[in-house]
A and B are shown apart, each in its own frame.
Chain A
Amino acid sequence: MEGNKMKCSRIRKMISPYVDEELSTDDRRAFTAHIEECAACRKELEDVRSVHELFVSAENYTAPLGFATRVMANLEQNEQPAYSRLWRLVTGKPLFLRTAEVAFAVVVMLIGVISGNLLVSDRTPVRQPTIQESFSLDLFQATPPNSIGGVYVKLMGATDEK
């Protein structure tokens, strides 16, 4: 009995390929021999067959009218020039995106270069405080009274008067 059971579990794995006619000659021979003797496996086979047969009556759909025409028309719209297709093939990115990325990078660098130049030259409008002045408390403005800092200062009773 044990031997039979083991055989059954092997046979079960063969049912689906058997229905699809994908078993080797040897396997098919062993399978059909077992099926003749084993009612349980026969039942399994019938169940799998009925699922398979469900598809026999499956409708064969056909592409709707004008399908090919629409495809060819869409090719026109989506078509990119050869160089951009080649670019995409090589880099895996659309040419347009690459150009935009490059353009963005150039703009950022330009901004950097220009502002760098401005800082270095004397044309910047910001007045640079002298070193002495920067140590002086005069540079520090009084805390605006209505700011959080101002309220805190008031609460603490401290003043920022000299």
Chain B
Amino acid sequence: MKARNDPDLIERLKRSDRKAFEQLVHEYQDRVYNLCRYMLKDAEEAQDAAQDVFIKAYRKLVALEPDASFLYAWLYRIAVNTCLDYNKRSYPKPLEDETFVENVASPDPSPEHLYQSKETGGLIHAALAKLPQKLRAAIVLKEIEALSYEEIAETLDTSIGTVKSRISRAREELRRYLRKDF
């Protein structure tokens, strides 16, 4: 996935070749959906956002840089920006997840709930929901998508120093949040 993309694929994508685009969707749908799932409140929102990501990507194909060998960064950037937009317009909603039914009822689960919960997944979502958007994007790209600092910098169109700082601050805030419950 992190390998340099086939230049032929890039050429076909620039021409909005549907087959090439469909190939792109299949290749990245899980990663994009996963990213949206951690950036947003629930599965439904993540699905809508992920769909939007690919539709936006299709429209931007015409302007794809000829040397865009790292498609994932280009796609992830669209995904992060889409998620930031979604979060800007939606009101804070209680976290919902089909697999964690009773444990995560709201963004502020009571300490007893977390203590009893064996599902760290619910804890992750609850903790991430507390983070400011930019910090959340950085830590999700690092911990969930396992990108390097350099790749994150490229995705977020910022410097490595900023990435380092955001990840560090995100961890600091997560620690503060988690300490309250343990």
Chain A interface (Cβ < 8 Å from any Cβ of B): 13, 15-17, 20, 22, 47-48, 51-52, 54-55, 57-64, 67-68, 70-72, 74-75, 78, 85-86, 89
Bound-state Cα–Cα, A58 to B50, Å: 19
Chain B interface (Cβ < 8 Å from any Cβ of A): 18, 21-22, 25-26, 29-30, 32-34, 37-38, 43, 46-47, 50-51, 54-55, 58-59, 62-63, 99, 120-121, 123-124, 127, 142-144, 148-149, 164, 167-168, 171, 174-175, 178
Bound-state Cα–Cα, A86 to B16, Å: 12
**How far in angstroms is the closest Cβ of chain B from A64?**
6
Bound-state Cα–Cα, A17 to B152, Å: 13
Closest residue to A72 on the B side, CB-wise? Answer: B22
Given A52-B143, A57-B120, A61-B33; A67-B50 close (CB under 8 Å) = yes
Q: Is the CB of B120 within 8 A of A75?
A: no
Q: Is the CB of B55 within 8 A of A58?
A: no
| Total A-B pairs, Cβ < 8 A | 93
Bound-state Cα–Cα, A15 to B165, Å: 11
Which B residues lie within 8 Å of A20 (CB)?
A: 142, 149, 167
Which A residues lie within 8 Å of B142 (CB)?
A: 20
Q: Is the CB of A17 within 8 A of B149?
A: yes
Please, could you name 28 A-B residue pairs with CB atoms under 8 Å apart, sorted by A?
A17-B164, A22-B149, A47-B175, A51-B175, A52-B171, A54-B174, A54-B178, A55-B124, A55-B143, A55-B144, A58-B38, A59-B99, A59-B121, A61-B37, A63-B50, A64-B33, A64-B43, A67-B25, A67-B51, A68-B26, A70-B51, A71-B29, A71-B54, A72-B18, A74-B51, A75-B18, A78-B55, A89-B63
